[in-house]
Amino acid sequence: MMRLLVIGFSFWALAITVGGGALAASVLPVGELWDLKSAEKAKGVVLDQSKLVLLNFWATWCTNCKYELKVQLPELSQKLGVQVVTVNIDKEEARAKHYVKKFEIALPVFQDSSGSLLKDLGVVNVPHWALYKFKAKAASSGAWELIAHQEGFDQEKISELVKTNK
């Protein structure tokens, strides 16, 4: 049976070390994110614990991001069974909303206009992605742990990581 979990963003726990490096925070503090499709502050997102989650950072001025959002990320989601959540970093909400509508972005889209999530995770440039896996600790608890993150978009690397971490 597929288990679903509604996670309050401020409680989304992650491992803090990756390949010898460390992220700035052990908890993903995305309480400042806004859902661009509903224009409400994001209080949580339904995440499927049986799937890996790919968090993708993008901006309207990023030329590579458009193709990723329209083609590559939906393909990864469909072919590999990854749950994709996108985070826009533009300062202007109206511009980001217009972009999402104009290019018919079907993926979940949140906005980090304050840059708080970027800062906490140490993201400097976009595109940037992070892949997470749910690790059960007991029958009713667990945490989302970081598998890897990287600036740029490397579909082959993400595909390889997904296949080895399922």
Instruction: Note the pLDDT of residue 18.
Output: 31
User: How would DSSP label each residue in 155-166?
Assistant: HHHHHHHHHHH-
Domain covering 4-165 in this structure, CATH number: 3.40.30.10
pLDDT of residue 64: 93
Q: Span 63-90, mean pLDDT?
A: 92
How confident is the model over 110-125, as pLDDT tens digits? 888 778 778 877 888 9
Strand partners, 129: 56, 150
> What pLDDT is attached to residue 49?
78
Q: Report whether pLDDT(6) > 60.
A: no
pLDDT at position 61: 95
Q: In the prediction, which pLDDT does 63 show?
A: 93
Count other Cβ atoms within 10 Å, centred on residue 76: 21
